[in-house]
């Protein structure tokens, strides 16, 4: 079993998570950890959205805006979290940045994804016959419309439409010699 990037003990140091986690554990003490986390995340999103709507509604009513110019001239955001929720949201963002987004394992996955996408793009730009027929047609059409970048746009669109799993499979088909089956060719 692989170790988790973030433990529940670490998350309990974040107020927004901790509040919802305690509530879920009190309501459903015997539910699995996976289900608990799902419910906590759902509740965290709900309480932030609810706070945003309620605070923004009150802010708009207080400002009595009648036009877009009133909004522009108001001087401060009218759509916002309450001060309390803003602090909780900021704390969560800082926690995630430090403990998740900058984690070495996440960085490794990002580096791998970058390699897959970059090499697929280069291979397709170098030889458009590697593309499926419909993507080849899109390449030709966009290349005609804009010779400077149209073809690159068509390839970027083709790759952007791939799922992660499909992009990895395409990468394997193109670059892994052990994948030399009639199906993958």
Per-residue pLDDT reduced to its tens digit, 57-96: 999 999 999 999 999 999 899 999 999 999 999 999 999 9
DSSP 66-129: -SHHHHHTSSS-SS---HHHHHHHHHHHHHHIIIIIT-HHHHHHHHHHHHHHHHHHHHHHH-GG
Per-residue pLDDT reduced to its tens digit, 106-143: 999 999 999 999 999 999 999 999 999 999 999 999 99
pLDDT of residue 58: 96
Confidence grade of residue 179 (pLDDT, cut at 50, 70, 90) = low
Q: What is the pTM of this model?
A: 0.66
Domain definitions of the chain by residue range: 8-102, 106-179
Cβ–Cβ < 8 Å for 56, 78: yes
């Amino acid at each position: 079993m692989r170790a988790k990037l973030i433990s529940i003990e670490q998350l309990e140091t974040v107020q927004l998570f901790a509040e919802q986690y305690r509530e879920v554990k009190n309501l459903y003490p015997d539910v699995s950890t996976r289900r608990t986390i799902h419910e906590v995340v759902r509740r965290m999103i709900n309480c932030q959205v609810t706070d945003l709507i309620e605070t923004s509604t009150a802010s708009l009513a207080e400002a009595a805006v009648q036009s877009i110019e009133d909004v522009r001239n108001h001087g401060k955001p009218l759509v916002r979290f309450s001060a309390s929720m803003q602090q909780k949201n900021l704390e969560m963002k800082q926690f995630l940045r430090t403990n998740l987004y900058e984690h070495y394992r996440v960085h490794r996955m990002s580096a791998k994804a970058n390699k897959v996408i970059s090499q697929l793009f280069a291979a397709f730009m170098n030889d458009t016959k590697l593309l499926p027929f419909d993507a080849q047609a899109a390449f030709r059409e966009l290349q005609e419309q804009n010779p400077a970048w149209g073809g690159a746009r068509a390839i970027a669109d083709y790759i952007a439409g791939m799922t992660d799993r499909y992009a990895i499979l395409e990468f394997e088909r193109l670059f892994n010699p052990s994948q030399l089956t009639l199906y993958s060719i």
